[in-house]
């Protein structure tokens, strides 16, 4: 049988207390870290079923547990492989986010090492 803890607040002996709604609502429900500049691989993840290399600089991150809607908030970044790299969210649904690696110097799509997290309500 699964256990259950019911609490409205978390309290630390010296740091004070925090309402648990901030923990539940403010925690990322998914994260990923890709290696996309060498052999494509998912280096680390949470709530990610798979990552797909769609084309140069374009990656799909498929969630294990879908969000309740497409109104989730993916926050993505990339390592600075070349000067001024950016990662953009190309599209998102309740079950995946597609990210693009963009060279902001010339606007080309390029392979990067993206990482990110998504916030929102799980289904």
Compute the CA torsion angle 87, 88, 92, 98 (nearest 10 deg).
-50
In this prediction, residue 70 carries a pLDDT of 96
> What span, in angstroms and rounded, lies between the C-alpha atoms of 88 and 22?
27
* Residue-number span of the structural domain to which 71 is assigned: 9-119
In this prediction, residue 122 carries a pLDDT of 92
Question: How many distinct structural domains can be found in the chain?
Answer: 1
> Is residue 32 included in any domain, yes or no?
yes
In this prediction, residue 84 carries a pLDDT of 65
40 DSSP 8-state letter: -
CA angle (20 as vertex; 17, 23 as ends), nearest 5? 105
> How does pLDDT run across 9-39, given as a tens digit for each residue?
888 889 888 888 877 777 899 999 999 888 8
Smallest Cα–Cα separation from 114: which of 90, 86, 92? 86
For residue 110, give both structure tokens: 């390029």
In this prediction, residue 29 carries a pLDDT of 96
In this prediction, residue 34 carries a pLDDT of 94
Q: For residues 74 and 116, is the Cβ–Cβ distance under 8 A?
A: yes
State which residues of the chain have pLDDT below 70: 1, 80-84
> Is residue 1 included in any domain, yes or no?
no
> What span, in angstroms and rounded, lies between the C-alpha atoms of 115 and 32?
5
> Is residue 40 included in any domain, yes or no?
yes
> Is residue 2 included in any domain, yes or no?
no
């Amino acid at each position: 049988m699964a256990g259950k803890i019911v609490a409205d607040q978390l309290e630390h002996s010296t740091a004070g207390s925090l309402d648990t709604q901030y923990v539940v609502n403010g925690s990322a429900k998914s994260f990923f870290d890709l290696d996309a500049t060498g052999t494509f691989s998912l280096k680390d993840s949470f709530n990610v079923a798979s990552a797909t290399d769609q084309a140069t600089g374009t990656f799909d991150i498929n969630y294990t547990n879908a969000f309740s809607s497409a109104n989730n908030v993916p926050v993505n970044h990339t390592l600075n492989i070349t000067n001024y790299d950016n990662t953009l969210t190309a599209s998102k649904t309740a079950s995946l986010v597609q990210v693009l690696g963009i060279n902001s110097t010339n606007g080309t799509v390029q392979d990067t090492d993206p990482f990110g997290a998504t916030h929102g309500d799980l289904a």
